[in-house]
Amino acid sequence: MRGRPVTGKERAEMRALYEEGLSSNQIGERLGRSGRLVRTHLKNVGALRTRAEAVTLARQQGRLRRVPLNEDFFEGALTASAAWVLGLLYGDGHLQEIEGVSYQVLLAGSEQVVRAASDLVGFGGKVSKMRDVSCWRAAWSSKRMLYSLKSLGMESGSKASSMLFPSLSTSCLPHFVRGLWDSDGSWCVRGKSVRAVYLTASSAFAGGLSRVLSRAGIRPSVREVCTRYRYKGAVRDAEAFRFDLVVSETRKLAGWLYADSTMGTRCARKYEQASVCYRG
């Protein structure tokens, strides 16, 4: 059922209140409208502030709420938990940096994984479902954490085709790679057999991962493929490097990844899929 239409008088009032410094949510509360609807109409007339401007104004007005977060989570010697979350971020994470204004570490994935990772980093904010996709998202705001991740090899902005495999201790590698598989990897179950598959757009990252798996006694088949993905409603083609493991190598990989894992440091759905290796 559609709501009542926005009148010309309301649009004028929205713009006037916005120019006075009220946020779209504050205007919505005053007019009995949603903040999203207010932003839509402000955007249509070219009056919507940029994110940098909105953050600066919110800071000046004291509207920025400090959300609990363990900002030194990735500092010093990485724990198994930190290595797993790092793997998730390399796969489905993003560093968003607006110099002097906003520093965010974004993670997307299944609700269980995003909540587990947020619990580990001590995040006290909201984990939300993304619109139009069956995916959940958390935004950890911290300049200190963002720069800690950059020191570990992550890049701001688009990183898929250029990222390098990080230099990590041997003890951290199974946990880091488990994070990778819990984000960009999959376990293809057919009856009682399972085959592991992983995709990356970076040639350098594929080389690093291949060397790590080989040192662990796991030998994947790696080949360059053309893959399709959906971005902002459009289907696009991209070159990628695909790791395929036969059943016997998949069994080795599952044992290596999950031997020292816990319920809070793995994707429950993928762990269940991989466990077919043992039951079969």
Please write down the HEC assignment for all residues of 94-150: EEEEECCCEEEEEEEECHHHHHHHHHHCCCCCCCEECCCCCCEEEEEECHHHHHHHH
Q: In the prediction, which pLDDT does 191 show?
A: 83
* Contact (CB, 8 A) for 179 and 88: yes
Token pair of 20 as six digits? 């006075």
pLDDT at res. 234: 63
The DSSP element (H or E) to which 186 belongs, if any, is: strand 185-190
Contact 238, 226 (CB under 8 A): yes
Mean pLDDT of 10-14: 89
Q: Is the pLDDT of residue 229 over 60?
A: no
Span 156-212, pLDDT tens digits: 876 667 889 999 999 999 999 999 999 999 999 988 899 999 999 999 999 999 999
Question: Which two tokens mark 256?
Answer: 């290596």
Question: From the CB of residue 92, how many other CB atoms can be counted at a distance below 10 Å?
Answer: 21
What is d(CA 278, CA 193) in angstroms, rounded to the nearest whole number? 10
In the prediction, which pLDDT does 228 show? 64
What is the value of pTM for the model shown? Answer: 0.79
Nearest alpha-carbon partner for 168 in 159, 158, 178: 178
Q: Report whether 135 contacts 108 (CB < 8 A).
A: yes
- pLDDT of 250 reads 97
Tokens standing for residue 272? 């269940």
pLDDT at 51 over 90: no
Among 42-56, 181-195, 222-236, which is the least confidently predicted range? 222-236
| Percentage of the chain lying above the pLDDT 90 cut | 59
Question: Which percentage of the chain shows pLDDT scores above 70?
Answer: 88
Provide the pLDDT for residue 61.
66
| Residue of 35 and 73 predicted with greater confidence | 73
pLDDT at residue 280 in the model: 47
**pLDDT score recorded for residue 138:** 96
CB 242 within 8 A of CB 197: yes
User: Do residues 123 and 138 lie in contact, with contact meaning Cβ atoms separated by under 8 Å?
Assistant: yes
Give 91-140 pLDDT, tens digit per residue. 999 999 887 777 899 999 999 999 999 999 999 999 999 876 789 999 99
pLDDT of residue 65: 65
Least confident stretch, 34-48, 66-80, 264-278: 34-48
| Lowest mean per-residue pLDDT among 69-73, 151-155, 190-194 | 190-194
